[in-house]
Structure 1
Amino acid sequence: MPKVVFIGLDGAQRVVEVDAGDSVMAAAVRNGVPGIVGECGGNCSCATCHVYIDAEFAAEVGGPGEMEDDLLELGAAAERRETSRLSCQITMIESLDGLIVHVPEEQ
């Protein structure tokens, strides 16, 4: 089962197992990862699951789609960065095992 490493502002790491096919956001919410809210339940409509993908994984995760891009631009409370993604839009696959995401200061 692939794992995601969530890194909080304080540098604390939380490793969460994610079933292949589940979203990174669903796993975070299910496991009580601080800072990942997911108010819309993963429907790409609230930007409360914003994360920064670690540079090591950015190419493999890829960039946001059009709707996600708009939400990141207009709806994200935290600063948008080059590796910003909505975790509800990242589907876990085996090749992303060990994915590192940084949780922003605010959602």
Structure 2
Amino acid sequence: MDGAGRVRQFFSITLPQLKYTIITSSTLMVVGSLTFFDLIFVLTEGGPGDATRVLALDMYKRGFQASLMGPASAIAVILVLVGLALALLLRRLGGRDAAASQLEGAS
């Protein structure tokens, strides 16, 4: 783009080409954060009190420590549905045509 400054080049060329990369990494980070269990369990086991309890840790504690498999299964289904909803929302925000990412910013 002739005569465009750095800011205009960034918003007209660079950012459109990074759109699908940003959406993919955001999806992986959001869905991965829903199952963030191992570090919390190893470091604090949900404590002090219940200060660091997340749904995945609550599912583990109910299912394996309290032998309440029904509520643990319900939490697992909720985690899957929330993760699926967030992934679909991020995909919808990204647009429909994945092949268009090759042509973004080329004009």
Q: Tell me whether the two structures share a fold, i.e. TM-score over 0.5.
A: no
Give the shorter-chain TM-score range: under 0.3
TM-score (norm 2): 0.21
Q: Which has the higher contact order (CA 8 A, sep 6+)?
A: 1
Higher share of residues assigned helix: 2
TM-score (norm 1): 0.21
